[in-house]
Amino acid sequence: MACISTLFFLSARVPMQFRVKFWELTACKRKTWLSWSLQRCCSSDTSLSSSDHLSSGLERYRDLQKYFRRRLKDAYHRFSNIPDYSVVSGHHHLYSTEEDGIYRMDKKQSHLEPEQVLNLRQISGELEKTGLENNKRKQRFQWTVQRIRLSPQERHLAASLKCTHTEELRCVVVRLERRRFLPLHPQHVTLTLEKVFSFEWATDEILFYSTLEGLRSSAVFRLDLTSSGSRITSVFEEMQPDVFVEVALTRDRQILTINCNSRTSSEVLLSDIATSNLDPFVVQPRQLNLLYHVEHWRGRLIILANTGLGQEYQVVQAPVSEPSMDSWVSLFAPEPGTTIKDMDVVGDHCVLVARTPVSELALIVVPLIHPKNAYIVQLPSWACAIKTKKPGLADQQNMLEFLISSPVHPPVPYCLHPENGLLLSGTGDGSSPENQADYITTRLEACSQDGTFVPVTLFHTVPVEHLRQAPLLVHVYGAYGRDLNMEFYPEKKVMLEQGWALAYCHVRGGGERGLFWHRQACVGGKRRGVEDLQACLHHLFSLGVSSPSLTALTACSAGAVPVGALCNRHPLLMRAVTLQAPFLDVLGTMEDHSLPLTLEDRDEWGDPVGNPEHRHIITSYCPLHNITPQHYPSMLLTAYSGDNMVPLAGVFKYTEQLKKAVHTHSSMKPKSECKPAPNIALNIQPGANHLGTEDFELMLEEEALKLAFLYMELGLDPPRPPRKRRR
């Protein structure tokens, strides 16, 4: 997959879509994070007490939190067996991650016991004893597996590991030998590499990898495994501080790419694995506002570049021998209003993930031999998120496997055969594992202040005209050109089943309608995202969807900016707000050049130090610097003690100033005129980073607290558990 999302990795205050994943809970596993692939969690015993003294205002929700924790745990286990792409397929074995390491199973002898190839207990050095429960000693492993890469002939395995509750990264290389019969000892760990972010095999003996220092990935190295040991040499180093570097393989495994992306430009280096000369060469030198991503097909480069109309993405091609922009020839440009979100080369076809003018996901298949014969493959109307499978060593290269989902629809597997347009669903009829007939997905558009139409996706169980009394949870992000996260989460499905309506507002600053949608709300246009959110709420209310007294807003990270700004401007539009890892002090953060993301973030927020106009604009909307005595909605702020992207100081300062403003407002009004004071609650999670806790039990506590907060602040009765039938 041409990884467009790479542009926004660590160098952005990203939404927290990489939380504990429901389908891995039975083995206490979790999804990714420092990569975009699956990561596993091997720990389930942690303490809430270490940061309790920093939290405040939570006690009133504890009883209801316990109730929702039980409900959520049941919901997560209910979806523990839905499909994912965590199994890696080699020529001879299937590799999977369990709580204590990586195992493989012989494809031809599946009756044999799986063989362990990597033992996390050995990597950790020793087991940490975390207490007794039911007279059984619980164990905690220090490292979690993030991703696995097999060498071309399956002679070696490389796996990236992350240290639990820290940012420390490690890559281990394992020599794969023939199966060892009892006793089953793990395979031999050949080498351990520190601070490895991305890595790919060029040959069975050569591994390319990039390293991560703090929040920067700028260097690429080459590991050569020899009969006498190993040798590491430097391959590439990026000098620009705002550029993030990673290595990747094209889908056909013929070309290794070194992708050097910033927010505003790209530069890709290629290494032709098919030749003996692996020295990388540049495709197109860096050029301001030029973004591109590279795939390979039959000696030609298939390039996704923003050289189309309005600087949007189109598909071009060039020979590998002459890859520069002068040789680029257009293959396909989407119709106006259709935006390309990602690209894959499958056999002799280019498959594009696209968003249509009505904001639905679709696939566009472009035959590379006859590109004028491109056609569209419609996906189910409820599809909001798509995840493609990275093919294994022995997988077919002429079909595309992928999962589609929505916040309330569990992932459904699909397989596309581009040569004939055949689209097959793993469930036969394309439905989710559970009956979704009662779930309605409605696509709306709200007219913003400047006349721009803003997409809104609404999930509900009854017709829109019957939603006036329904509680409404509104989601928003709107930054860094990233689409609002719309993957499946069991808690969203639970809320829908209990009569909630869920709205997703795709405000400007995100990427839902292309690159221009992001450009519209950068720096001087940041206030547009706030105006868009306000327009979305007004439009929903005008349609008869809920009311301000039954409405709550939720956002993560930089999504807190439009929410916090709207709370300052129009606090009566909502009753409650939940924010996770919230970015609330835009001005103070962008003034502090010692913080890790300040320089890179100038393209997004502006430079208040060197540009007086930027300072004026930021000051006009910054949530922290516009707090005023008035009646605010109740607010639950969740922050993480290990967050190095959003400074905790800004969260503390915002919380204290908001409490003071609420108190001042209450003291200014006669008691007879005072409304009940809003509750401002702060939840500090210990040890977790910007992406939240990796521990399943802690994640349940956090999500249950949010539900308890929403129900109490909106004055809702907790849902009654279903009655058991009498025999």
The residues near 91 (Cβ < 8 Å, ≥ 6 apart) are 153, 154, 393, 394
Give the strand pairing for 255-261 and 101-106.
unpaired
State how far the Cα of 412 lies from the Cα of 265, in Å rounded to an integer.
35
Edge-to-edge strands, sheet with 361-367 = 339-346, 349-355, 361-367, 375-378
State how far the Cα of 500 lies from the Cα of 482, in Å rounded to an integer.
26
Give Cα separations from 715 to 461, 551, 576 (angstroms): 21, 11, 11
Mind spelling out the 3-state secondary structure of 600-620? CCHHHHCCCCCCHHHHHHHHH
End-to-end Cα distance, the chain: 54
The residue among 559, 547, 552 whose CA lies nearest residue 576 is 552
Active-site residue, from 100, 242, 585, 643:
643
Q: Token pair for residue 285?
A: 């030198």
State how far the Cα of 195 lies from the Cα of 200, in Å rounded to an integer.
15
Measured at the CA of 143, the angle between CA 490 and CA 643, to 5 degrees, comes to 65
* Residue in the structure block whose two tokens are 């002090």: 585
State how far the Cα of 352 lies from the Cα of 340, in Å rounded to an integer.
7
Q: Do the Cβ atoms of 394 and 91 come closer than 8 Å? A: yes
Q: Is 643 known to be catalytic?
A: yes
Type of residue found at 322: E
Give the strand pairing for 196-201 and 188-194.
unpaired
The residue among 147, 127, 157 whose CA lies nearest residue 45 is 127
The residue among 263, 276, 457 whose CA lies nearest residue 361 is 457
Q: Token pair for residue 438?
A: 């009662």
User: How many other CB atoms sit within 10 Å of the CB of residue 453?
Assistant: 14
Q: Is 77 known to be catalytic?
A: no
Active-site residue, from 546, 585, 690, 695:
690
Residue 408 C-alpha from the chain's centroid: 17
Active-site residue, from 557, 585, 601, 634:
557
Where are the extended beta strands (E) located within 421-489?
422-425, 440-447, 453-460, 472-476
Q: Is 518 known to be catalytic?
A: no
State how far the Cα of 272 lies from the Cα of 266, in Å rounded to an integer.
19
Handedness of CA 324, 325, 330, 334 (dihedral sign): positive
Q: Token pair for residue 133?
A: 């429960």
The residues near 366 (Cβ < 8 Å, ≥ 6 apart) are 315, 331, 332, 349, 350, 351, 352, 374
State how far the Cα of 148 lies from the Cα of 161, in Å rounded to an integer.
10
Q: Which residues are catalytic?
A: 557, 643, 690
